[in-house]
Chain A
Amino acid sequence: MNIKMLGAFAAVALLAACAKPAATAMSTGAGQTVTSGPAPGSEEDLVANVGDRVFYGFNKTSLSSDATATLSHQAGWLQKFPQVSVLVAGNCDPRGTEEYNLALGQRRADAARDFLVAQGVDGSRIQTISYGKDRPTAQGDDDASYQQNRNAITSVQGHNPQEGTGASS
């Protein structure tokens, strides 16, 4: 069961990582020069070329080897762009209660933050937040969606995909 779940979950992660570069390639193919990729050090750069999120098991906060690989890339990227500050947001699937999931999401954000700090990123550049189960990125009521929604999403401050326009300033 665990192996099966991990397999599905790795496939989801790959899809997410592939989606953006494909879109970028298509738009550049429509008449722009090859230099028009995401600006280095931008949110788009983080999403497209590094990987902005890591995933967790049900009711778990420990980092998988896939997660630590992604976070290592994030740490390298953050060291390359020392002016960038990030928000690490912990999220949960809907199969938990509202306020417990606030703490569980915070634990997930902390786990990712602590790994980045251990890799040498200055902790003052990393803000954490938990959205509990309130901002699911995948909308289905199925295991594949739940797996995507148990995550920690790193985003460049000011460009946080889970913050609404009224709250992103």
Chain B
Amino acid sequence: MTSSNHLLGETDDAAPTVPGLIRRITRRGMIGTTLATALAAPAFAQSAPAAAPAGGDAAGTAVIDVNRARTAPIPIAIPPFAGGTSQGDLVSVISADLNNCGLFRVVDASGVAATAPGGAPDFGAWKGTGAQALVTGSVTQSGDQLRVEFRLWDILPGTQLQGTAYTTSASNWRRIAHIIADVIYQRLLGEKGYFDTRIAYISTTGPNNNPTKRLAIMDQDGANNRFLTDGSWTALGPRFSPTRDQLAFISYVNKIVRVYLFDLGSGTRSLIGNFRTMTFSPRFAPDGNSIIMSLYQNGGANIITCSLSGGNVRTLTSSGAIDANPCYSPDGSQIVFESDRGGDQQLYVMGADGSNVRRISFGAGRYADPVWSPRGDLIAFTRLGSNFAVGVMAPDGSGERTLSESFDVESPTFCPNGRVIMFQRGAGASSRLVSIDITGFNEQPVQTPTSASDPAWSPLLS
């Protein structure tokens, strides 16, 4: 602590439902433990809403709504944090998150002192930069421990919107940066961010006619890439568990195409069930306790559910058609899937018990890869006509919009707040991951060390 005028609060305002100071920022066991502590506004600030709830329903505290930010990104200043760490530059990670999402514009902060003498920002000077919001912070490292304090200011009224200190092991510095970017996003836009997340995907190397396809995982911004399988067997189609540190994916182990569970903590792979024929298109139920997937049998693919060990099998469809890519609605009451039961691939919605099947796609072409938004309001899909397209429609099939079109784009996945979709652009050795806002603007490349396909966006890690 270098600034004696900063009062440490007694509660953690970023996690109001968790009593006490200690909050594990990961339930996934790989990262370690972080302390988050609320910082009350300094004595000079006029009002101190630091204890305001910061949950998902904090829309009332937003400075700007998302639609306004799309047309006019929020100008925000993030001058270098005081102190520092040997590990890396938090400000550059925070700035990249906010710039890349398209809803913020990080303004040039050079030449303006972060704080005036006495510790308060010189709001007059910051107004001159055009910024509406200001982020100040400090980093202190002692041994392996990192303490990061940050404050978010509304420049025009000169008030503090948020003040939080995080303590964690130094190797977690990127996660702290992403968590801070998520807090800024939430306080200024009124809904949770999605920066403290990871992407699972399939890495492709080698010749097109005999590629090596490995399961890989990285941070949402492409950092910390890791290969999870060695490429001995083709891997495809990873999906995240919503509740545990697990993936489901397809593997060709022993030249049999089947769905496996991959435990990210231990790195172990386990077969889901012991079906005699191909299983594919896995996805977790919203509670994380069961798998829904396709089981190929007698020329068709049926949608089934089973436990994570493959028990308690229930067959939801048995049309003789190829029924694939099932995905639950966020509340678990409905399932969207694709089927060629009508002759070619179209999207259908049914109840979670398989009842009341109705077709929802009626545009020109075939439809595939449906995935339900975590917000519940949209279904993303791949459409195949004269070209490939990624688009969205309402769950009743209305309001279809194309977001991106080329040969080929496919495999959309939603970020946790449903505002951004990631998908695959290109095929084989030229395939890459890109992200795009659900309104169809701000398509951004996602950096991967190899060709990449089949992206899956994780839930928020904290």
Bound-state CA distance A115–B409 (Å) is 35
Contact partner of B208 (CB less than 8 A), chosen from A61, A132, A136, is: A136
- Interface residue B168 (Cβ < 8 Å from any Cβ of A): no
Query: Closest CB-CB distance, A53 to chain B, in whole Å?
Result: 13
Are the CB atoms of B280 and A103 closer together than 8 Å?
Answer: yes
Q: A74: CB under 8 A from chain B?
A: no
CB distance from A104 to the nearest CB of B (A): 7
Q: Which A residue sits closest to B344, measured CB to CB?
A: A59
- Is A129 a contact of B231 with CB atoms below 8 Å? no
CB pair B206–A164 under 8 Å, yes or no, is: yes
Interface string of A81-119 (1 = CB under 8 A from B): 000000100000011111110111011001000000000
- Asked if A103 and B296 make an inter-chain contact with CB atoms under 8 angstroms apart, the answer reads yes
> Cβ of A127 and Cβ of B255 under 8 Å apart?
yes
Known contacts A103-B280, A167-B234: does B411 contact A98 (CB below 8 Å)?
yes
Number of A-B contacts (CB under 8 A): 101
Closest-by-CB residue of A relative to B232 is: A166
Bound: A104/B233 CA distance, A: 20
How many residues of B are counted as interface, with CB atoms below 8 angstroms from the partner's CB atoms? 45
Q: What is the CA–CA distance of A162 and B325 in the complex, to the nearest angstrom?
A: 26
**Neighbour of B299 across the interface among A94, A102, A107, A131, CB < 8 A:** A107
In the complex, chain A residues whose CB is within 8 Å of the CB of B237: 98-99
The answer to whether B411 touches A102 (Cβ under 8 A) is no
Assess the A162–B210 pair: CB atoms within 8 A.
yes
Q: Which residue on B lies nearest to A138, using beta carbons?
A: B209
Within 8 A of A (CB), among B332-370: 338, 340, 344-345, 368-369
Among candidates A97, A127, A135, residue contacting B384 with C-beta atoms closer than 8 Å: A97
Complex CA gap A136/B209 in Å reads 5
Task: Given A100-B324, A110-B299, A130-B278, check contact A139 B255 (CB 8 Å).
Answer: no
Are A94 and B408 touching (Cβ within 8 A)? yes
- Please tell me which one of the listed residues A96, A129, A164 contacts residue B256 in the complex, with CB atoms under 8 A apart: A129
Q: Is the CB of B236 within 8 A of A98?
A: yes
Interchain CB contact under 8 A, B206 and A98: no
The 8 A CB mask of B243-256 against A (1 = contact, 0 = none) is 00000001010011
Q: Say whether, besides A134-B213, A136-B209, A167-B234, A129 and B384 are in contact (CB < 8 Å).
A: no
Minimal Cβ-Cβ distance residue in B for A111: B299
Within 8 A of B (CB), among A107-155: 107, 110, 127, 129-137, 139, 141
Chain B 418-458 residues near chain A, CB threshold 8 A: 427-428, 453-454
Q: At the interface, yes or no: A66 with Cβ under 8 Å from chain B?
A: no
Q: Closest chain A residue to B202 by CB distance?
A: A98
Which of these, A97, A102, A163, contacts B257 with CB under 8 Å? Answer: A102
Residue of A87, A96, A129, A141 most packed against chain B (CB within 10 A): A96
* Contact A167 B232, beta carbon cutoff 8 Å: yes
B305 interface residue per 8 A CB criterion? no
Residues of A1-18 at the interface with B, using a CB-CB cut-off of 8 Å, are: none
Question: In angstroms, how far is the closest chain A Cβ from the Cβ of B269?
Answer: 15
| B212 proximal to A (CB < 8 A) | yes
Docked-complex contact B384 and A95, CB < 8 angstroms: yes
Q: How far is the CA of A107 from the CA of B211 in the complex (A)?
A: 22
A146 to B: closest C-beta gap in Å: 12
The reply to whether the CB of B40 lies closer than 8 angstroms to some CB of chain A is no
The reply on B322 being an interface residue by CB < 8 A is yes
Q: Are A102 and B255 in contact (CB under 8 A)?
A: no
Does the CB pair B211–A135 fall under 8 Å? yes
CB–CB B211/A97 < 8 A: no
Whether B209 lies near A100 (C-beta < 8 A) is: no
Given A59-B344, A137-B209, A164-B212, decide whether A99 and B233 contact each other with a Cβ distance below 8 A: no
Residues of A with C-beta under 8 A to B208: 136, 139
Among A102, A137, A141, A166, find the residue whose CB has the most chain B CB atoms closer than 10 A: A102
Residue in A closest to B298 when the chains form the complex, CB atoms: A110
Q: Which of B256, B299, B454 contacts A98 (CB 8 A)?
A: B454
Q: Which of B187-236 contact A (CB under 8 A)?
A: 206, 208-213, 230-234, 236
Give the residues in chain B near A163, CB-CB below 8 Å.
Answer: 210, 255
CB < 8 Å: which of B209, B250, B344 contacts A135? B209
Interface string of A65-87 (1 = CB under 8 A from B): 00000000000000000000001
- Knowing A129-B256, A164-B212, the reply to whether A100 touches B344 (Cβ < 8 A) is no
Please tell me if B159 contacts chain A, counting CB pairs below 8 Å.
no
Query: Smallest Cβ distance from A89 to chain B, in angstroms?
Result: 9
Residue of A nearest to B206 (CB): A164
B294 located at the interface, meaning its Cβ lies under 8 Å from any Cβ of chain A in the complex: yes
Inter-chain CA distance A124–B410, complex, in Å, is 37
**B363, chain A: closest CB distance, angstroms:** 16
Cα-based distance from A39 to B360 in the complex (angstroms): 56
Q: Is the CB of B231 within 8 A of A166?
A: yes
Complexed CA–CA distance, A163 and B344 (Å)? 30
Residue in chain A with minimal CB distance to B323: A103
Q: 15 additional contacts, CB 8 Å, given A95-B408, A96-B384, A136-B428?
A: A59-B344, A94-B408, A97-B369, A98-B410, A99-B325, A100-B325, A106-B257, A106-B278, A129-B255, A129-B257, A132-B236, A134-B211, A136-B208, A160-B255, A166-B230
Contact sample, A vs B, 12 pairs, CB 8 Å cutoff: A94-B427, A95-B384, A99-B325, A102-B257, A103-B278, A103-B322, A103-B324, A107-B322, A129-B256, A134-B213, A136-B208, A141-B407
